[in-house]
Amino acid sequence: MKRAQLIDRRSLLCKAAGAVGVGILPVGVGAAGGPVAVKGRIRQSIAYWAFNVAGDKWNLAQTCQIARQLGCRSVELVKGKEHEIVREHGLTCALSQIDLDPDPPFVRGWNHPEHWPRLIRVTKQAVDEAAHYGSPNVICFTGYRAKDPGNPTSVEWSAEEGADNCVAGFKQVAGYAEKKHVNLCLEILNTRDNTHPMKGHPGYQGDNTDYCINIVKRVESPCMKLLFDVYHVQIMDGDIIRRIHEHKDYIGHIHVAGCPGRGELDDRQEINFKPIMEALVNVGYQGYVGHEYIPTREPLQGLIEAVSLCDV
């Protein structure tokens, strides 16, 4: 990255802090006099949770301020009244979260029919919130293979059973989402990394592109989409650019993080993000790209570099 492209961290944080106090911040205006995301062909988003769990632990208002400073258009994976904070800052929530607290939303998913009543309720609630606040997507998950997650001796759903259950479950909410003009985005999660609870998910059933895209297609709804997480797909499948071209009509949202380790998009990881972003432009992708990596160093500088890298 050229020196002229970098934004002074101190100036940016001072501007963000001042803007929080007065409630005003020019969209995309960086400390160096211009936005980081200049071209805007890739609509970029910040996954709130990822910058709230490590390092400086940004709160939601601060995350929104920094998003605006960097020219990002969204802060995502919020729920309930959190949407109001995002909207107050002139941003979109590109991907709304479902409210399954205290359980992680990816454990007891749509492959578990016994959990359908709860999933239908919280998913419709999230769809309503998304429609009200202008969020285009709601996240969803297959769930873990184990019928009793956390029990090491639990019987597991077969791949066929799990897929059939997901299709049948999603069909119960897809029509509702269609009426609200909101997409349901099924996320691929890797099962290989067992070093950290958010770097990999051993036991998750939808751990590869082919499995998840089969479910998405079988639901037969224009609102059923794939959440293509480049980090997870790289670990399980690879061949990122070819898969983007193959599944371009079904991709509803993109997540990015460095691999291995789910860290910054820097030269210490193996994914070449610039041609991936160019592939998204080439296939006419109109959705958002969400930065969902876990910072391993000063979070603002890493995010500045990531946003600039993805601005092709």
Q: How many helical (H) and strand (E) elements, i.e. helices and strands, does the chain have?
A: 10, 7
Asked if omega into 26 is within 30° of 0 (cis), the reply is: no
Which of 82, 187, 264, 305 is catalytic? The answer is 187
> What is the rounded CA–CA span in Å between residue 289 and residue 262?
15
Tell me which residue has tokens 């910058």.
51
Known catalytic membership, residue 187? yes
Q: Kind and range of the H or E element at 66?
A: helix 60-69
User: Of 222, 277, 221, 286, which is closest to residue 253 (Cα–Cα)?
Assistant: 286
Residue 10, C-beta contacts closer than 8 angstroms, at least 6 positions apart: none
Q: Where are the alpha helices (DSSP H) in 76-158?
A: 82-88, 116-133
Catalytic residue among 76, 129, 292, 305: 292
Segment holding 228, helix H or strand E? strand 224-229
CA triplet 20, 26, 28: central angle to 5 degrees?
Answer: 110
Cα separation of 14 and 42, whole Å? Answer: 27
At 196 the three-state DSSP class reads coil
**What are 76's strand-pairing partners?**
47
Phi, psi of 146 (to 5 degrees): -65, 135
Contact between 256 and 47 (Cβ < 8 Å) = no
Please compute Rg for the chain using Cα positions. 19
- The Cβ of residue 294 has, within 10 Å, a number of other Cβ atoms equal to 21
Q: Active-site residues: which are they?
A: 187, 292
